[in-house]
């Protein structure tokens, strides 16, 4: 049985499944999935949405998003999206930003490749593999930077 200290360490370790960023993503996704008219008619779901609206809005406003970057130019296109050269507005650092269309990935049932690519870039320590700095998403796109 994990101790409270074990759980706290997992929450702070980005390599574990039980980490803060993953949990925040899950809560935001759950909130957005519940926030459709058909489901809002259910009392428990409506109460969940009302109880968490302020927190979710706060999280969404403060998490990294595509609008935090200025596009410089498109440097590649693929089956699911494109890669852009971008500059982060606050830090002024230049990155490659990969945009993947969620609907296209789901339509082709090829989401497994995304997770494999993301994990390789996130956890590899090779100088020959591009390092993943952030991964984030909105309702339509997945972004890797």
Question: Does 73 count as an annotated binding residue?
Answer: no
According to DSSP, the residues that pair with 98 across neighbouring strands are 83, 144
Q: How far apart are CA 92 and CA 95, in angstroms?
A: 10
Phi, psi of 110 (to 5 degrees): -115, 40
Q: How far apart are CA 52 and CA 24, in angstroms?
A: 12
Q: How far apart are CA 53 and CA 56, in angstroms?
A: 5
- The number of helix segments (H) and strand segments (E) in the chain equals 6, 5
Q: How far apart are CA 48 and CA 141, in angstroms?
A: 25
Binding positions for ATP are: 98
Binding positions are: 98
């Amino acid at each position: 049985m994990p101790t409270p200290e074990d759980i706290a360490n997992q929450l702070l370790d980005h390599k574990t499944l039980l980490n803060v960023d993953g949990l925040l993503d899950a809560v935001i996704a759950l909130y957005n999935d519940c926030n459709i008219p058909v489901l809002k008619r259910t009392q428990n779901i409506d109460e969940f949405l009302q109880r968490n609206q302020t927190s979710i809005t706060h999280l969404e406003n403060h998490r990294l998003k595509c609008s935090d970057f200025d596009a410089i130019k498109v440097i590649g296109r693929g089956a699911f999206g494109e890669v852009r050269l971008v500059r982060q507005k606050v830090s002024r650092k230049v990155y490659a930003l990969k945009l993947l269309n969620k609907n296209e990935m789901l339509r082709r049932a090829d989401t497994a490749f995304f997770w494999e690519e993301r994990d390789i870039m996130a956890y590899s320590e090779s100088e020959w593999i591009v390092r993943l700095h952030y991964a984030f998403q909105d309702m339509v796109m997945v972004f890797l930077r």
